[in-house]
Structure 1
């Protein structure tokens, strides 16, 4: 049987090891990016560097936009707004009970051109939703209860549903939020500088600083490697245990087979001697007993029963029957003794 537990642990360890290497590689890449302390320095850096070589930089600033979005539910002003609506309801399952479930009704996203501003300059950010560590803030979350009309309730009941209401969630990237962006810096023909996802390299949009990002990636890389080592050791232990058990089982079977064959050979030699003596006396011999079916316990008598769990043969049933016959004989002897004693006691004493 294949040790699936050990193999699963080893495969999981390999996956965690790859994740650890990936996180460690990202941390090393972040250490090599060019840090721009002030956004006005980025324009000078792009003018000095060759336009044929992409430059990966890290910048920090506050989110701003010339045409921000006014959120309907939260009242915030943001540059990226996501709105989702989920219909929550109870449905009848096959067991006859009600279970809660939900279905997505609406998923909408709005985004306007936005930039980072640190007071010395502006740099536009493109494609931030596909960056690592990017997350929106929950601006508003409200649950709207469904109406309780008789007609609606009857229709829902016939369909096996009970409408609970609609849950609306509004996520937003508000203006004025401090962000750190790591990406490729490019400059177009009209002099506008923007940060975008590089073809090869890291792309991060996060409220954490660059040092915090490097520290977190290094920490996760270490945790992944420790978990990988632990799962590897445990998987090897399970595989080794299975292998040892398999070897011991094979050795036990081989030893049992050797004992059976030895007993069969001994029995065959005895039968050959008997057949020789019978041949000299002119009696018939049986040549069909080359390999007798011996009991695996006593290795002397033929088997007449089977162990259900391992299908090994033994004479347990015959021994049990013999024991029961012996007990019956004991009972009969004791009964006869009691009858004899009662008869002796009932006889009158002879006069002297």
Structure 2
């Protein structure tokens, strides 16, 4: 049987190692990204840069010419997500009521937006697919159920009790400070955009570039140490299983040698001439056979058999192994009682 525990640890260690390498590689790429302190310098950099694509790290505040006014929070943002969940109690098979929810509505809005630092603008494209991009919760409202008595009775007959609707509003407000790492491009009319590179990381985060690099380096080290620990533990489990398997094989081989040696000895005794036997003494002949053949349990091949099965009367197992049997190994008859014998 394969040591699945050890193999699982080793596979998990390999996955953590790959994650650590990926985080470390992203940290190295962020270190080599061209940092732009003022957005007005990015246009000059694109005009003068001969090697494209150009991966840059910029910072600024979120702005838009057509911001969205949020319905519940009243904030003005550039990306808005609204969800509505119906919360209710459901009657289960055990006769109790458990709380559950179901998604009723999910809407998303986004308008063209850019980063502005007072010196220039850079439009951001494909922000939702960037690493580190998240929308903070701006509003969370729970509206209690206002169903009529008839509708509430119908729901109750169906095993439901409506509690209300939970509405959550997530917004990227204007004026939020963001750091972006991506590919900078300039179109024919002079508009500068930053987008996901064909190769390399694409980050949008409220953290600074230095904080992003430090965070990626920290996770890379954690993944590395976790991978090393799981590898050591997995190797230990595999080695333990291997040693146990080898010892078990050795024990069975030694038992097999003992049985074969006893059988060979008995065969050599049987091949001797009839003059060397006492054919008239059946009791002595039986005792000799008992001495030649080892009285081993047919199940574990370690202990002597000392359990008599009732009602068939066969004796071929030790009392320890007989506890796990329901039928006799020799005649397959059902065991009603086990009697322990004492041999002298």
TM-score normalised over the length of structure 1: 0.81
Q: Deviations over 1:285-323 (max 9, x none)?
A: 9xxx9xx97421459xxx82322378899xxx7762779
* 2:26–2:201 contact (8 Å) kept in structure 1: yes
Secondary structure of 2:322's counterpart equals coil
Q: How does 1:251-290 map to 2 (within 5 A)?
A: 251-273=250-272, 275-277=274-276
Structure 1 consecutive aligned stretches of length 4 or more whose deviation exceeds 6 Å: 309-313
Q: Determine which structure has more spread, i.e. the larger CA radius of gyration.
A: 1
The alpha-carbon deviation at position 90 of structure 1 amounts to 1.6
Q: May I ask how many residue pairs the two structures share in their alignment?
A: 312
For residue 171 of structure 1, report the CA deviation from its aligned partner. 0.3
Tell me which residue corresponds to 1:33. 33
| Alpha-carbon separation, structure 2, partners of 1:80 and 1:185 | 21
> 1:158 and 1:263, CA in 2 relative to 1: closer, same or farther beyond 3 A?
same
Structure 2 Cα separation of the partners of residues 22 and 63 of structure 1: 29
User: Structure 2 CA distance, aligned partners of 1:223 and 1:275?
Assistant: 81
Distance 2:66 2:340 in 1: 97
Give runs of aligned pairs for residues 218-237 of structure 1, distance below 5 A.
Answer: 218-237=217-236
User: Tell me, what secondary structure is at the counterpart of 1:38?
Assistant: coil
Q: Partner of 1:107 in structure 2?
A: 106
Preserved CA contact (<8 Å) 2:266 2:293: no
Secondary structure, aligned partner of 1:205: strand
Cα distance in structure 2, aligned partners of 1:250 and 1:146: 69
Following the alignment from structure 2 to structure 1, what is the Cα–Cα distance between the partners of residues 275 and 43? Answer: 112
Distance of 1:319 and 1:196 partners within structure 2: 82
* Number of the residue aligned with 1:338: none
CA drift of 1:201 comes to: 1.6
Cα distance in 2 for residues equivalent to 1:318 and 1:261: 29
Decide whether aligned partners of structure 1 residues 298 and 100 sit closer, same or farther in structure 2, where only a CA change above 3 A counts: closer
Residue aligned with 1:144, SS: strand
Specify whether residues 322 and 13 from structure 1 end up closer, same or farther in structure 2 by C-alpha distance, changes over 3 A only.
closer
Rounded Cα–Cα distance in structure 2 between residues aligned with 1:253 and 1:298:
15
TM-superposition CA deviations, 1:134-168 (whole Å, max 9, x none):
01111000111112532122211222211111111
Q: What is aligned with 1:75?
A: 74
Selected match of 1:304 from 301, 315, 318: 315
Counterpart in 1 of 2:213? 214
Moved more, 14-23 or 141-150: 141-150
Which deviates further from its counterpart, 153-162 or 241-250? 153-162
- Asked if structure 2 preserves the Cα contact closer than 8 Å seen for 1:304 and 1:318, the reply is no
Q: Secondary structure in 2 aligned to 1:273? A: coil
Aligned to 1:23: 23
Q: CA RMSD in A?
A: 2.9
Give the deviation of 1:5 after TM superposition.
0.7
CA distance in 2, matches of 1:261, 1:42: 87
Instruction: Measure, in 1, the Cα distance between the counterparts of 2:324 and 2:339.
Output: 19
1:224 to 1:272, Cα distance in 2 relative to 1, 3 A: same
Tell whether the 8 Å contact from 1:79 to 1:112 is kept in structure 2 after alignment.
yes
- Offset at 1:269? 2.9
Which shifted more, 53-62 or 90-99?
Answer: 90-99
State the distance in 2 between where 1:319 and 1:81 align.
Answer: 80
| Corresponding residue SS for 2:341 | helix
Aligned counterparts of 1:142 and 1:293: Cα–Cα separation in 2? 84
Shift in alpha-carbon separation, 1:149–1:265, aligned structure 2, 3 A: same
TM-score (norm. length: structure 2): 0.83
Mapped contact 2:46–2:185 kept (Cα < 8 A): yes
* Aligned residue number for residue 341 of structure 2: 320
